[in-house]
Structures are given as C-alpha cells and as structure tokens.
Amino acid sequence: MIIKHRQERSEIIILRSLNVRMSLSDKEVTNYLNLKKGYEGEQKSDIWLEGLSEDWLIIHDLLLEYNNSKYQIDTLLISQDTIYPLDVKNYEGDHYVEGDKWYISAKKDGKNPLHQLSRCETLLRCLLRDLGYHYPLESYLIFINPEFHLYQTSINPSIVFPTQLNRFLKKLNTKPAKLNKRHFKLAEQLVALHLIDLPYPRLPAYAYGQLEKGTLCPKCYSFFSDLKGTKLVCGNCGCTEGVESAVLRSVTELMLLFPDRKITTMAILEWCKIIKSEKTIRRILVRNFKLIRNGRSSYYSNS
Ligand SMILES: [Zn+2]
C-alpha cells in the first residue's frame, strides 16, 4: 500500500524550463541531466516495487531532518518487523570499488554511495528512537539500470544489482507483513515530518527579463511553433495541445519560476507569446482562477 507517492521535484521542473529559456553553463546542464536521470531511475524502481505484496507500507521520496542534518530517502518500506530504507541509483556503465573508494569508468573519483546510505540509516535510526520505535533497519542500495556493472573484490549484502532485483523482491515477499495500527501511525508520522521544499542551492541565478518567452511543448520541451485554430503545434516532435491546457501549464510554470509575480492577462500574454489574443487569455484565466480585484492592479490567484 502506497502511503506517499513520488512527485517530480520542483528543482527538476525549474531546471528543465531554464534549460530551454536561457543558456546554462555545462556544469548546470550536467547537474540538470543527473537529477533527471536520478528521477527516471526512481520511477523505474517504483514500477518494480509494484510487485511487492499489498500488505507492506511504501513511502516514496522522504526528506527528513535530524539535528539539523537533512537526508533523503528514495523509498521506505515498512514490514511487520523491519524497516527498509532504499536508495535508488540509476548509474550505468562500469564502476569500480577499491577499498573505500568508488570510481567511475574514466577512473574519476566518485562519491561512495554506501557512505550516504549508512549516514541516512544512522539519522533515521535516531529519529525513530526519538519517536519511540525500535524496529530494526535494513538499508539497501538499489541499482536499477541494467547497463550498470560494478567491479568489486568483496561482496556487500546491502547492494542489490540489476540482475538481483527480482530475487530481492521475492525474498521481501516471503517476510511477515501483518501490520497493525502502530505501523500505520509510524508511516503517518514520517510523512508529516517530510520537508516540503528545500531552497535549491544548485539552481542558477535567473531573472524574468533574461528568459526567452514562449509556450513549451509538454512532450519534448521545445517551444510550440504554430497555432492552428484552437491547437498549438510543436514543430519539433509534431505533438499538438489545446490552447487552454497549454496556457494553464504555462501559468503553473511561471508561478513556479517566479512565485512573486502577479498573474495578469498581459503577463500571461507576454509569457505564452505564441497566443496573440488578449481575449483568449482572459477567458482562460477567468475560467480557472479567482480574480482579485484591486483597480488597475487586479490579478488572478489560484487560492
Ligand atoms: Zn514537442
């Protein structure tokens, strides 16, 4: 049973938008692609976990804090007598472990994900103890990408390789899963402690004036190139979308990028760019938002 679903992080959505609307440095693009790849891996792992018995509690994407230390748990599984924090990695290609060091194919020194795993486990154990729970924890590093290979000299039982995913799930499904109120209470408490948003220190600085205006295609994220009747057409992937849904997506995007900007007909006309009719924009805003009347500086709000 899924207690908390995974949502795409705002950080990725913002970076995807900036990547089209301004020019990002190589480092910023790499960071964006890494985050995106990580998220795709997490989504794959969510599908894999659909094979887990219904009796288990599943919490996706928890951001917790203990003693001012923040830590992220990709997926937390609650069974009858054990709690399993899973860290999902979408790595691909050859990786090497030598002693305590982790290398990527080009022999570049990478972070050892096992250190992150044990840090998370320690912080979570302290939090659970404070909440009065003493279930044992078993953390796993899940390598979801079949193109991943790790050269290592010793066997580490907390690593699950792509070829072991099915067997690992079968093993979990043999564990006792008679849950009671206390398990549900724990799940609720953890979800309540989830930190909604981080400031994103990795985001590049951006300003409204420097961003290219236009409406993005929801499939390939390039700018829509044509307006035919009530449909927008993407010149890159050929997909089409109704004007209303495209405008609403653009408003959401603008609000995420610039939470302080007021939503007005003129603001959205400028932001969407491809739609030239003030009347069309106003009609869509009136239908979907609340007009906050304030003379000449009236604006639309979604709350
Ligand atoms: Zn497209």
Q: How far is the CA of 134 from the centre of ligand 1 (A)?
A: 51
- Look at residue 223 and tell me whether its pLDDT is greater than 90: yes
What pLDDT is attached to residue 107?
60
The answer to which of 18-22, 135-139, 153-157, 298-302 has the lowest mean pLDDT is 153-157
- β-pair type (140-143, 159-160): parallel
Q: How far is the CA of 213 from the centre of ligand 1 (A)?
A: 16
Q: How far is the CA of 256 from the centre of ligand 1 (A)?
A: 21
What pLDDT is attached to residue 108?
66
- Look at residue 233 and tell me whether its pLDDT is greater than 90: yes
Q: How far is the CA of 238 from the centre of ligand 1 (A)?
A: 6
Q: What is the 3-state secondary structure (H, E, C) of the chain?
A: CEEECCCCCHHHHHHHHHHHHCCCCHHHHHHHHHHHHHHHHHHHHHHHHHHCCCCCEEEEEEEEEECCEEEEEEEEEECCCCEEEEEEECCCEEEEEECCEEEECCCEEECCHHHHHHHHHHHHHHHHHHHCCCCCECCEEEECCCCEEEECCCCCCCEECHHHHHHHHHHHHCCCCCCCHHHHHHHHHHHHHCCCCCCCCCCCCCCHHHCCCCCECCCCCCECCEEECCEEECCCCCCEEEHHHHHHHHHHHHHHHCCCCCECHHHHHHHHCCCCCHHHHHHHHHHHCEEECECECCEEECC
Q: How far is the CA of 185 from the centre of ligand 1 (A)?
A: 44
Q: How far is the CA of 211 from the centre of ligand 1 (A)?
A: 19
Q: How far is the CA of 241 from the centre of ligand 1 (A)?
A: 10
Please compute the mean of the pLDDT values over residues 222-247 and round it to a whole number: 96
Q: How far is the CA of 265 from the centre of ligand 1 (A)?
A: 25
The rounded radius of gyration (Å) of the Cα atoms in the chain is 23
Q: How far is the CA of 16 from the centre of ligand 1 (A)?
A: 14
Q: How far is the CA of 45 from the centre of ligand 1 (A)?
A: 27
Of residues 27 and 196, the one with the higher pLDDT is 27
The answer to which of 87-96, 99-108, 290-299 has the lowest mean pLDDT is 99-108
Q: How far is the CA of 250 from the centre of ligand 1 (A)?
A: 15
Residue with tokens 């610039």: 258
What pLDDT is attached to residue 190?
97
Q: How far is the CA of 154 from the centre of ligand 1 (A)?
A: 47
Q: How far is the CA of 239 from the centre of ligand 1 (A)?
A: 6
242-281 pLDDT tens trace? 999 999 999 999 999 999 999 999 999 999 999 999 999 9
What pLDDT is attached to residue 123?
96
What pLDDT is attached to residue 262?
94
Q: How far is the CA of 152 from the centre of ligand 1 (A)?
A: 42
Please compute the mean of the pLDDT values over residues 203-225 and round it to a whole number: 96
Residue with tokens 């992150």: 116
- Look at residue 105 and tell me whether its pLDDT is greater than 80: no
- Look at residue 51 and tell me whether its pLDDT is greater than 90: yes
Q: What are the structure tokens assigned to 175, written together?
A: 């564990």
Q: Report the length, in residues, of the chain.
A: 303
- Look at residue 37 and tell me whether its pLDDT is greater than 70: yes
Q: How far is the CA of 228 from the centre of ligand 1 (A)?
A: 15
Q: How far is the CA of 233 from the centre of ligand 1 (A)?
A: 8
What share of the chain in percent tops pLDDT 70? 97
* Type of residue found at 33: L
Under 8 Å between Cβ of 200 and 14:
yes
d(CA 178, CA 17): 45
What pLDDT is attached to residue 279?
96
Mean per-residue pLDDT of the chain:
93
Q: How far is the CA of 223 from the centre of ligand 1 (A)?
A: 7
What pLDDT is attached to residue 100?
78
Domains of the chain: 2-193 (3.40.1350.10), 213-301 (no CATH)
Please compute the mean of the pLDDT values over residues 7-21 and round it to a whole number: 94
- Look at residue 211 and tell me whether its pLDDT is greater than 90: yes
CA atoms within 13 A on the CB side of 14: 20
**Taking CA 143 as the corner, what is the angle to CA 142 and CA 149, rounded to the nearest 5 degrees?**
145
What pLDDT is attached to residue 197?
66
Question: Which pTM does this prediction carry?
Answer: 0.86
- Look at residue 198 and tell me whether its pLDDT is greater than 70: no
121-154 pLDDT tens trace? 999 999 999 999 999 999 999 999 999 999 887 7
Q: How far is the CA of 237 from the centre of ligand 1 (A)?
A: 4
